Structure 1
Amino acid sequence: MASTFDLTHLDRFAGSSTSIRRPREFTHFSYDDTHTLKPQSAESLSYYYPPIFGAPGAQEYRPDLSAGFKAFRQRDDSPDEHLDGLLDTLQAYEESLLARVKGGEDDVKIGNVRVKADVITWRGMMTKVCPRMINFVNYASLLGEMRMHAPMLFAILTVAFDDFSDFEMNATCFQGTVFIEENHAYKAAQRWIQNTQQSRRGEASQEMMQYWGYKFETISVLPGPWAECTRADIEARESYTVDNHPQYCSIVRTGIGTTSLVLAGEVDAVLGEKPENIDQAIPWIELKTSAEPGNLAMPREAVKYERKLLRYWAQSFLLGVPKIMVGYRTPDGFLTYIAELETQRIPSQVKRGQRTWDGNVCINLTAAFLEFLKTTVVGEGVWRISRKRNGRAIKLVKVEERGTGNVLKEGFKAHREHLRGLEVAAALRT
Structure 2
Amino acid sequence: MNRETFDIQPIGRFYGSSATIRRPKEIACFSYDDQHKFHLGDSSLRYYYPPQLPADLNRGFDSFQKLDDTADEHLDALLDTIVALERETGKKCETDIITWRGMMTKIMTAPFDDMNGFEMNATRFQGTIFIEEHNAYKNEQKRIQNNKRMPPGMASQDLMAYWGYKFETISVLNKTWDATPRAEIESREDLVVNNNAQYCSVARTGIGRVKLVLGGEVDAIWDSKPERRDDPINWVELKTSAKIRNDKDALKYERKLLKFWAQSFLLGVPRIIVGFRDQQGILRRLEEMETANIPSTVKKSGRGTWDGNICINFTAAFLDWLKTTLQEGGTWRLRKAQKSSVIEILKVEDSGTGDILSQNFLTWRATT
Q: Which category of TM-score, normalised to the shorter sequence, fits these structures?
A: over 0.9
User: How many Å separate the matches in 1 of 2:204 and 2:322?
Assistant: 19
Shift of 1:52: 1.9
Runs ≥4 residues deviating over 3 A: none
Alignment of 1:239-250 (within 5 A): 239-250=190-201
Q: Counterparts of 2:256 and 2:15 in 1: how far apart (Å)?
A: 21
Return the alpha-carbon distance in structure 1 between the equivalents of residues 222 and 328 of structure 2. Answer: 43
Structure 1 residue aligned with 2:123: 172
Residue of structure 2 in register with 1:341 after alignment: 289
Q: Secondary structure at the match of 1:360?
A: helix
**Larger Rg, first or second structure (1 or 2):** 1
1:356 aligned partner: 305
Paired AA for residue 99 in structure 2:
T
Distance 1:7 1:392 in 2: 5
Cα deviation digits, residues 254-290 of structure 1 (max 9, x gap): 0000000000000000001111111111000000011
Q: Which residue pairs with 2:141 in the alignment?
A: 190
Does residue 119 (structure 1) correspond to residue 97 (structure 2)? The answer is yes
SS at match of 1:219: helix
CA distance in 1, matches of 2:102, 2:345: 18
2:314 matched residue in structure 1:
365
In the TM superposition, what is the alpha-carbon distance from 1:50 to its structure 2 partner? Answer: 0.4
Give the stretch that moved more between structures: 360-369 or 302-311: 302-311
The Cα of 1:248 is off from its aligned counterpart by: 0.1
For each residue in 1:345-394, what CA deviation from the matched residue of structure 2 results, as whole angstroms up to 9, or x when unmatched? Answer: 00000110112111000000000000111111111000000000110100
Is 2:82 the counterpart of 1:81? no
Q: Distance in 1 between matches of 2:165 and 2:343?
A: 32
Alpha-carbon contact 2:123-2:130 (below 8 Å) kept: yes
> What is the deviation of 1:96?
1.9
Structure 1, residues 189-247: CA drift from partner, whole Å, max 9, x if none? 11111111111111100100110000000000000111111111101111000001110
Kindly provide the amino acid, as one letter, of the partner of residue 122 in structure 1.
W
Mapped partners of 1:368, 1:204: distance in 2: 40
Q: How big is the shift at 1:171?
A: 0.2
> Do 2:80 and 2:360's aligned partners in 1 also have CA atoms closer than 8 Å?
no
For residues 93-126 of structure 1, what are the alpha-carbon distances to aligned partners after superposition, in whole Å with 9 as ceiling and x for unaligned?
Answer: 111223xxxxxxxxxxxxxx1101000000000x
Deviation at 1:294, TM superposition (A): 2.2
TM-superposed deviation, 1:322: 0.5
The one-letter code sitting in structure 1 at the alignment partner of 2:210 is T
d(CA) in 1 for partners of 2:353, 2:166: 39
Asked if the contact 2:83/2:364 (under 8 Å) is kept, the reply is yes
Q: Give the residue type in structure 1 aligned to 2:354.
A: G
TM-score, normalising length from structure 1? 0.84
What is the one-letter code of the residue matched to 1:84? D
Identity %: 53
Give the one of 259, 262, 272 matched to 1:314: 262
Q: Separation in 1 of the partners of 2:212 and 2:18?
A: 17
Q: Which has the higher strand share?
A: 2
In the alignment, structure 1 residue 417 sits paired with structure 2 residue 361? no
The match for 1:377 is: 326
Q: Which residue of 2 aligns with 1:105?
A: none
Q: Which residue of 2 is the match for residue 50 of structure 1?
A: 50
Write the distance in 2 (CA, Å) between the matches of 1:417 and 1:276.
34
Higher RCO (CA-CA < 8 Å; seq separation 6+): 2
Query: Per-residue deviation at 1:301?
Result: 3.5
Corresponding residue for residue 29 of structure 2: 28
Tell me what 1:104 maps to.
none
Q: Distance in 1 between matches of 2:117 and 2:70?
A: 20
1:217 equivalent in alignment to 2:168: yes
Matched, 1:305 2:224: no
Residue equivalent to 2:182: 231
Q: CA deviation at 1:321?
A: 0.4
Match of 1:326 in 2: 274
How many angstroms does 1:327 deviate by? 0.5
Aligned CA RMSD, in angstroms, stands at: 0.9
The 2-side partners of 1:411 and 1:239 are apart by: 41
Q: Which of 82, 105, 117 lines up with 1:90 in the alignment?
A: 82
**What amino acid sits opposite 1:330 in the alignment?**
D
Q: 2:240 aligns with which of 280, 286, 289?
A: 289
1:53-109 deviation per Cα after TM superposition (whole angstroms, max 9, x unaligned): 3xxxxxxxx2110000000011111110000110011111111223xxxxxxxxxxx
* 1:165 shift after superposition: 1.6
User: What displacement does 1:417 show?
Assistant: 2.1
The total of aligned residue pairs comes to 366
User: How far 1:36 moved relative to its partner?
Assistant: 0.5
Aligned to 1:275, the other structure's residue is in SS state coil
